[in-house]
């Protein structure tokens, strides 16, 4: 089995993390892991091809945002929350908080 590269904590770079989190699909994946904990790739609720999901998972892993663990034929993804908070305190919470507030239904107001 091919070994997967996970950057060391001190190798996680802010521009790479921000680039990875700038994609709506990857942000949705991160939010789902944050909400539900470690998950198999097949459990993500995204409407993209399996091969595209694999590319997004790889981008998140190589950016240092997720950790991928192989169990048989399944790949389980978890967030590297501790490492991210050590490198960039509050960043993940701020991004996820903003994501949640922007995905809530828009309330209509009358003038």
Residue 29 CB partners (closer than 8 Å, separation 6+): 44, 46, 56, 57, 60, 77
Residue 66 has what DSSP assignment?
Answer: E
pLDDT at 1: 56
pLDDT at 108: 46
* More confident position, 27 or 41: 27
Whether residue 30 contacts residue 38, with contact meaning beta carbons closer than 8 Å, is answered with no
Q: What residue ranges define each of the domains in the chain, with the CATH number in brackets? A: 13-101 (1.10.10.10)
Q: Phi then psi for 79, rounded to 5 degrees?
A: -80, 145
pLDDT greater than 50 at residue 19:
yes
Question: What three-state secondary structure class fits 70?
Answer: strand
pLDDT tens column, 40-68? 988 888 889 988 999 999 999 999 999 99
């Amino acid at each position: 089995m091919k070994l997967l590269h996970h950057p060391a904590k001190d190798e996680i770079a802010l521009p790479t993390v921000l680039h990875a989190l700038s994609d709506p699909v990857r942000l949705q994946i991160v939010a789902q892991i944050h909400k539900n904990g470690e998950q198999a790739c097949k459990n993500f609720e995204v409407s993209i091809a399996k091969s595209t999901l694999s590319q997004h998972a790889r981008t998140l892993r190589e950016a240092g945002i997720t950790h991928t663990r192989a169990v048989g034929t399944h790949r389980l993804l978890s967030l590297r929350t501790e490492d991210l908070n050590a490198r960039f305190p509050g960043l993940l919470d701020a991004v996820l908080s903003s994501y949640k507030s922007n995905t809530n239904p828009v309330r209509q107001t009358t003038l």
